[in-house]
């Protein structure tokens, strides 16, 4: 029989008589409205083959779509691994993360959100072996496959990191300054030392940060090396309508929110001003493009002002100077937006291959 513990709105559904007393890895699975994908995600964790015990914490944020019932089914079927951490009401992803993290028991921590899944049954074994052999390494991540839903079908780009870096070596080791320029650590592939995550949540993550995964990678990289395994071990699913994929207007606001986050992190870690300014360039460049396409004049002008002072060569090409002149003309902006959207669509159709109908998790 499972026991239910209710403390300060933390509800845990588990059977401690069946769970490993000292799991080596805790897998944290944050989920909200993932009923269509959750079984796929849980199955992929349960398929792990290790010579050490693991636990899976399914952190359901009061999903209204039945995801919680799916999690309960798995907890009943696999009580030696599955724990459910939930609460009576929806509290949002950041609070859900904090709530679930209070229950982590493993020496190492891995992530697999409810709409992603793992594909390598030896993922955790490889990563733990790496971390145990290299005490200077705080975390290790891997390549992954990326899937999107287009034209009524899931389409997949395999080995996304290898494609992104065009077959060159993925940055590894002491990569803090590289990570400042943009995160390339995909959360569903990450495994790290739990103590680092505890310190990150307790004293580094701030409520004003728009995301938590990029600051986590930066926090680990500020004191430890980060390792990389070139094999794809997971699938990151880009679901339409999610916070990260809701159109250009949302994207430009998110990009703008990254800027004070990076500034704050640089200040707290005493990063030299020149290094911080260099790290902000790709963010302001992205803000310039996205604000132009979405018609956000305020953010566009803010980007222009910063780039004029700190990155004037970016604005020197004629086509960017032309954007500055025509930004107030909606019809002309729409022509650029159509061209941009067409290029994105062509690239997706060229790079992403249609998955067979039997692919698990397909709509």
Nearest to 20 by CA among 51, 55, 58, 48: 55
Task: Assign 165 a pLDDT band (cuts: 50, 70, 90).
Answer: confident
* Domain count along the chain: 2
Q: Among 201, 222, 243, identify where a domain stops.
A: 243
Task: Summarize the confidence of residues 169-195 as an average pLDDT.
Answer: 96
pLDDT 10s digits, 234-273:
999 986 544 434 478 899 999 999 999 999 999 999 999 9
Same domain, 28 and 136: yes
Same domain, 173 and 44: yes
Q: Among 208, 243, 278, identify where a domain stops.
A: 243
Same domain, 310 and 182: no
**Region class of 109: left (phi > 0), else alpha (psi between -120 and 50), else beta:** beta
Beta bridge pairs of residue 140: 191, 227
Tokens of 19: 């769970």
pLDDT 10s digits, 301-344:
999 999 999 999 999 999 999 999 999 999 999 999 899 989 98
Range of the domain at 49: 3-243
In a domain, 153, yes or no: yes
pLDDT 10s digits, 101-132:
999 999 999 999 999 999 999 999 999 999 99
Same domain, 90 and 207: yes
Rounded CA separation 220/174 (Å): 10
pLDDT 10s digits, 62-109:
999 999 999 999 999 999 999 999 999 999 999 999 999 999 999 999
């Amino acid at each position: 029989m499972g026991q239910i513990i209710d403390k300060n709105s933390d509800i845990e559904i588990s059977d401690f008589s069946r769970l490993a007393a000292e799991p080596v890895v805790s897998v944290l699975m944050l989920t909200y409205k993932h009923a269509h994908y959750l079984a796929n995600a849980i199955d992929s964790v349960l398929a792990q083959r290790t010579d050490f015990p693991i636990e899976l914490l399914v952190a359901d944020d009061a999903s209204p779509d039945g995801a919680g019932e799916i999690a309960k089914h798995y907890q009943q079927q696999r009580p030696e691994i599955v724990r459910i951490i939930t609460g009576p009401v929806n509290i949002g992803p950041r609070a859900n993360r904090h709530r679930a993290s209070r229950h982590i028991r493993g020496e190492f921590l891995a992530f697999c959100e409810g709409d992603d899944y793992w594909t390598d049954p030896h993922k955790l074994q490889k990563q733990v072996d790496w971390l145990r052999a290299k005490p200077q390494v705080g975390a290790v991540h891997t390549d992954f496959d990326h899937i999107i839903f287009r034209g009524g079908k899931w389409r997949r780009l395999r080995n996304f990191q290898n494609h992104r870096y065009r077959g060159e070596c993925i940055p590894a080791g002491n990569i803090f300054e590289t990570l400042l320029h943009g995160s390339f650590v995909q959360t569903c592939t990450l495994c790290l030392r739990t103590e680092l995550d505890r310190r990150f949540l307790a004293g580094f993550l701030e409520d004003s940060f728009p995301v938590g995964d990029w600051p986590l990678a930066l926090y680990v990289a500020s004191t430890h090396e980060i390792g990389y395994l070139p094999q794809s071990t997971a699938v990151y699913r880009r679901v339409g309508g999610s916070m990260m994929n809701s159109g250009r207007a949302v994207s430009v606001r998110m990009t703008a929110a990254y800027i004070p986050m990076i500034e704050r992190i640089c200040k707290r870690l005493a990063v030299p001003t020149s290094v911080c300014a260099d790290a902000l360039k790709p963010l302001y460049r992205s803000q310039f493009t996205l604000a132009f396409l979405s018609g956000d004049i305020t953010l566009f002008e803010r980007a222009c002002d910063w780039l004029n002072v700190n990155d004037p060569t970016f604005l020197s090409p004629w086509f960017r100077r032309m954007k500055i002149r025509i930004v107030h003309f909606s019809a002309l902006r729409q022509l650029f937006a159509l061209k941009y959207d067409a290029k994105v669509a062509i690239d997706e159709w060229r790079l992403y291959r249609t998955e067979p109908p039997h692919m698990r998790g397909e709509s």
